[in-house]
Structure 1
Amino acid sequence: MSVAVKQFFAARPYILSIFIVAVVVFWMLSGQMTNADEAKAEPEKAAHKLTRVQVKTYTAETIERSLHLYGQTEARRQSVISAEVSGRLLEFLVAEGRPIKKGQALARLDIQDRRSQLLRAEALLEQRTIEYAGVKALSKQGFQGKARLAEAKAALVDAESNVKSLNLAIDNTLVLAPYNGIFEENIVEAGAYLGIGDPILRLADTQQLLVRTDVSERDISQLSLGEKAYVNLVTGEEVEGSIDFIATLSDPNTRTFKVEVLLDNQQQQLMAGVSASVRFPLEEVEAIKVSPAVLALDEQGNLGVKTVVDDVVQFVPASLVRSDPDGAWLSGFSGDNDVIILGQGFVREGDKVEPVTKAELLAQERAE
């Protein structure tokens, strides 16, 4: 029987080849089916294994959005008082650093011979007055022409002007305060000879102070004259003021606009030249306070945070309202928000995740 079989297959070798090929094809097909079943099972298994992220619920609060800048206090008015007449400075009548009132005498210059000049000028004025009266009377009677009358009148006006000038020069030898303020310092010493226009002393009006600061071109449109501003001085005082000046032209070098805040200082408790921070309230917005560690960037580079809504990751763009030592306030939120605080770097917007809170994690650890 075996010999006959061998002879049969020997005479027909293609039958054995067909059999071998059939066995190989069957083996290959069975392997592919097994791999397909495994490949199908793997996604199903992966679909059930979600990324776990830790979330924390933040409730939006209404806070003030404000602009913070820096500057320094200055006296609203500062003046250098100069000599209006020439002469020797005899004395200062007020000590440096003392408060002064408008019209108060501050210094005195030598009158020199101005009083004797005034006496001569007054005598000449009396003569010119008599002469003009006589010429005017004769002119009415037709004995003097109009030219002579005009000449006499001009001489009278010149004499009157001379008397007034000398009186003014004598008055100006006494240097008076032009406004209430502080006698800051004397620029020259008593005994110095002064010409007209030479500086004598420096005054400052510190009953009102200014805080000058520079505002960027992006923020300048948000400020208006008369709006409130809050100033914190390096000395510890916090003072409320108002915007007194906004420049209409920017600095060509920095592209910033000068803004001045006016502070009341009637009690003279604030000092000029002190560094200060200025807060300009702008508007009220809803915001959440988060740690900077939870901030993220989307694929376009926008700043925001990743939240979870119905177990799906969402990216919420946010704007920084202000920064505190213990966190950053971000606008763009309302109500309660489940923010991813751990694991945000491993998920993308649209991913389905398993959100857990810190309390849930601790409970699971205790159970284990």
Structure 2
Amino acid sequence: MRIVPFLTAIVVTAMLYLLVMERETLMAFAIGEQEITSEDKTDIPAADAPAMAALAQSMVKVVVQTSEAEEIDSAVLLRGETEAARQVEVRAETTAQVISEPLRRGTFVEAGQMLCTLDPGTRHTVVAQAQADLANAMAQVPQAEARVKEAQARLNEALINDNVATKLSETGYASETRVAATQAAVLSAEAGVESARSGLETTQAGIRAAEAAVAAAEKEIERLIITAPFAGLLENDTAELGSLMSAGATCGTIIQLDPIKVVGYVPETQVHRVALGSLAGARLTDGREVRGRVTFLSRSADPQTRTFRVDIDVANADMSIRDGQTADILIASAGSKAHLLPGSALTLDDQGDLGVRVIEEGNVVAFKAVTLMRDTAEGVWVTGLGDSADVIVVGQEYVVDGVTVEPTYREASK
């Protein structure tokens, strides 16, 4: 049995125990804050004496970066996607057979451009019949008006005769029988006038009904040509030639991509930092960067995520940005001071709070909690360190609060 590997294993195990389980005691011993009694010496293996002596002769070395706070644009960072400004399924309003060649998907169509044309069938005949009925109804108006005038003339004559009979009866030159007869004639004439006027109203109602029938027939003709409601791209082929379309069937789907929307969802903790009209930018997955302004901020939170929808309108004249692309969104907000540090400098304390370890007066280590504002390729922007701070960027995981270290300073990377 070889004794050397066995002794080496014991030494390594003892050193690891001291470094991991008794780190604070070991560090205090290393900086001379605690004297080792004779009893303590008996507890330390003899093989550890060289390591303990080395630690006692030198403090822990760390690399420190002096950081100065800078004014940055405190943008709200979101993850979102692009969305078409408008999208609609153009549907038929009547039933007929398609008689036009289909337009293929990807075709750009202008507002009002024909998408589908349907077979008119007998609809033109229906229009002609409705127009004939309207003409017939209008031809009856003069006759109805003449009957009204005739009935009015008879009423006037009856009123005159009644007036004469009444006067003569008062002087004794006409009998009461004659007066009663003239009054009956007046009532009959009045009834004739009412009847004539009712006939005129019936004729006018017939005209209005005929006009409505003509309008409905002509509207049915208009529905045979289905047009684009706005300029955009076809997402699918329009209805095929010869297919039968019923009312409500889809002729084609159009999307408008200029301008295009970039949609994100703001957490409720940051929604107060977003305002309508704020400048915003987005970086697409292909690396392109686009700019726009906030045009919509929801007043109602999503019940599942408790976030608020925000829309940003972006120019897309060449339509190179597609619907549904992933985007990283930055919305401008009020600026604040922050420190740019390497991401590796961040650490956690015993309570799990995010922060960094800094060097204070006397080269003593202290933990400072920070708030992460932005993660960039150059590093992370954090707040909570004041205007200036000496941040440990190498070795922060091997020291604790209150320990005195030997710092080596380096310049911040630009």
TM over 0.5, yes or no?
yes
Partner of 1:357: 408
* SS of aligned partner of 2:269: coil
Match of 2:241 among 175, 190, 193: 190
* SS of aligned partner of 1:333: coil
Describe how 1:302-317 pairs up with structure 2 within 5 A.
302-311=353-362, 312-317=364-369
Partner of 1:22: none
More strand by share: 1
Q: Given the alignment of the two structures, is residue 256 of structure 1 paired with residue 304 of structure 2, yes or no?
A: no
Q: Given the alignment of the two structures, is residue 210 of structure 1 paired with residue 219 of structure 2, yes or no?
A: no
Partner of 2:185: none
Match of 1:89 among 98, 109, 113: 98
Describe how 1:4-23 pairs up with structure 2 within 5 A.
none
Aligned residues: 316
Asked if the contact 1:97/1:185 (under 8 Å) is kept, the reply is: yes
- Over 3 Å counting, the alpha-carbon distance change for 1:120 and 1:297 in structure 2 is closer
Asked if the contact 2:116/2:239 (under 8 Å) is kept, the reply is: no
Cα separation, 1, equivalents of 2:345 and 2:84: 46
Cα separation, 2, equivalents of 1:233 and 1:43: 57
Superposed CA deviations along residues 243-302 of structure 1, whole A, max 9, x for unmatched, are 222222222222222222222212323222222221223332222222344334456543
Cα separation, 1, equivalents of 2:127 and 2:34: 116
* SS of aligned partner of 2:74: strand
Residue 186 of structure 1 deviates from its aligned partner by 3.0
Residue 209 of structure 1 deviates from its aligned partner by 1.2
Q: Given the alignment of the two structures, is residue 290 of structure 1 paired with residue 341 of structure 2, yes or no?
A: yes
Partner of 2:381: 329
Shifted more, 295-304 versus 80-89: the winner is 295-304
Partner of 1:275: 326
Match of 1:78 among 80, 87, 98: 87
Cα separation, 1, equivalents of 2:276 and 2:402: 47
Shifted more, 338-347 versus 145-154: the winner is 338-347
Q: Given the alignment of the two structures, is residue 145 of structure 1 paired with residue 202 of structure 2, yes or no?
A: no
Match of 1:219 among 254, 270, 287: 270
Residue 235 of structure 1 deviates from its aligned partner by 2.8
Cα separation, 2, equivalents of 1:149 and 1:212: 63
Asked if the contact 2:103/2:237 (under 8 Å) is kept, the reply is: no
Partner of 1:265: 316
Asked if the contact 2:66/2:409 (under 8 Å) is kept, the reply is: no
Partner of 1:165: 216
Amino acid at match of 2:392: I
Residue 224 of structure 1 deviates from its aligned partner by 1.6
Match of 1:135 among 120, 130, 144: 144
Using the aligned pairs only, state the percent identity.
27
Amino acid at match of 1:195: S
Asked if the contact 1:93/1:105 (under 8 Å) is kept, the reply is: no
For structure 1, the 5+ residue unaligned runs are: 1-41, 360-368
* SS of aligned partner of 1:182: strand
Amino acid at match of 1:120: Q
Residue 70 of structure 1 deviates from its aligned partner by 2.2
Amino acid at match of 2:391: V
Partner of 1:60: 69
Partner of 1:232: 283
Shifted more, 304-313 versus 204-213: the winner is 304-313
Residue 112 of structure 1 deviates from its aligned partner by 0.7
TM-score for the superposition, normalised by structure 1: 0.76
- Over 3 Å counting, the alpha-carbon distance change for 1:43 and 1:218 in structure 2 is closer
Partner of 1:99: 108
Shifted more, 334-343 versus 217-226: the winner is 334-343
Asked if the contact 1:308/1:339 (under 8 Å) is kept, the reply is: yes
- Over 3 Å counting, the alpha-carbon distance change for 1:234 and 1:300 in structure 2 is closer
Cα separation, 2, equivalents of 1:307 and 1:276: 36
